[in-house]
Amino acid sequence: MRVQNLKSRVYDVAVVGAGVFGAWTAYELQRNGKQVLLIEPYGPGNSRSSSGGESRILRMGYGADEMYTRSANTSVKRWRELFAQVDEPLLHRTGVLWLAHDDDPYAIASAQTLAKVGIAFEKLTTTEVAQRYPQIGLDQLAWAMLEPESGVIMARRAVQMIVREAIKSGVDYLQDAVMPPVGKQKLESITTTEGNRISAGEYVFACGPWLPKLFSEALGKRIHPTRQAVFFFGTRAGDPRFTPPTLPTLIDFKNEAYALPDLEGRGVKLAIDRHGPPFDPDTGDRVVSNEELAEVRRYLAWRLPDMKDAPVNETRVCQYENTSNGDFLIDRHPEFDNVWLVGGGSGHGFKHGPSVGEYVSARIDGVEEGIEPRFSLATKRSTQKRSVY
């Protein structure tokens, strides 16, 4: 959709990027009375975006990191409210099963934090795992933790739904690509590759892996897009063991792997969570390699042994846009008083979209002041040392 007479309009806020952070921010700003323009080069939920995959895990466990546990808990309530409001059931309550090893302080800390915050969970022995989920291989498993209320969001459609709801509420939407901003202290306008000039009081750049392209000096060495391969494996006809509720979503933190049950007939989704090589979201080749497939197949045969010969239904190459340690980036640009940088989802950010939207909107509205130090640009380094998962 093209907005008419852009040159004659001055928006309260222009949001660049219609991924989950940008879409929720635009939606919240409009609900709070701002005139908002949302700009996106490839379309909401497109295959190049970090928010564009079919599904994302919604879980509460974050080790001892209570901030993200509380954010996820707040966000899931907002997701459910919005899905109920528009009558689109895009959240599958599969349960999330953490597979804990003998030396697994992250799982222990997650259980302690969930108990402190008041989020339901259940500890399972290996015997109980074998009884409930006999399809799961128990090798190296010491115990498990089940988050029964957690699950999976259908990401691509959820982002598209938020953008639709934002437009219904009055947000203007423009499909165009923004050029790198120029100027100092206050940004007067931005221009696009199609020749549009857009003026706003405040600008929010929530464009994930494109942030270091638009702000090469400030972010070129602080946001690190990496290539991530995802696989969907087909189940046998009539076999219910790999669909929910028979199989929950699995997180194997020590082995840097996760698996989602067969949702909507797409197959069991499996991926390695380890950061891949550097990746360009515009020009990167999105075909999986034989080496990537071989590693995932080894894990599949080990953890879900009855699927060791399962066919590949689909593959996908997406990207994480990582900060140095995995904390989000939400801060003002150091050279523009009216520019906000919002990103650094770092492979775990999708679920937090509602909380991020509320956080940014509250600061632009002046309802809240100050920046969480962990979100600040000053804490972002050029070398990666991941600590938030």
Give the pLDDT confidence score for residue 9 in this predicted structure.
Answer: 84
pLDDT at 257 over 90: yes
250 forms beta bridges with: 97, 259
**Residues 302-331, buried b or exposed e (16+ Cβ, 10 A)?**
ebbebbeebeebebbbbbbbbbbbbbbbbb
pLDDT band at residue 7 under the 50/70/90 scheme? low
Angle of CA points 50, 269, 17, to nearest 5°:
10
Residues with Cβ within 8 Å of 309's Cβ and at least 6 positions away in sequence, in order, are none
Pick the CATH number of 6-51+156-223+325-379 from 2.120.10.30, 3.30.110.30, 3.20.20.70, 3.50.50.60: 3.50.50.60
Give the pLDDT confidence score for residue 271 in this predicted structure.
Answer: 98
Q: Looking at this protein, which amino acid is placed at residue 51?
A: S
pLDDT at 206 over 70: yes
pLDDT at 8 over 70: no
pLDDT in tens, 341-388: 999 999 999 999 999 999 999 999 999 889 999 999 999 999 999 999
Structure tokens at 245: 């509720």
Place of tokens 């939400």: 330
Residue range 299-314: mean pLDDT, rounded: 98
pLDDT in tens, 36-68: 999 999 999 999 999 999 999 999 999 999 999
| Percent of the chain whose predicted confidence (pLDDT) is above 70 | 98
Determine the topology of domain 94-151+224-319 in CATH: D-Amino Acid Oxidase; Chain A, domain 2 (3.30.9)
Residue range 167-188: mean pLDDT, rounded: 95
Phi, psi dihedrals of residue 330, rounded to the nearest 5°: -140, 100
pLDDT at 5 over 70: no
Give the pLDDT confidence score for residue 99 in this predicted structure.
Answer: 98
Q: Looking at this protein, which amino acid is placed at residue 334?
A: P
Q: Are strands 189-191 and 249-252 parallel, antiparallel or unpaired?
A: unpaired
Please state the domain extents for the chain: 6-51+156-223+325-379, 94-151+224-319
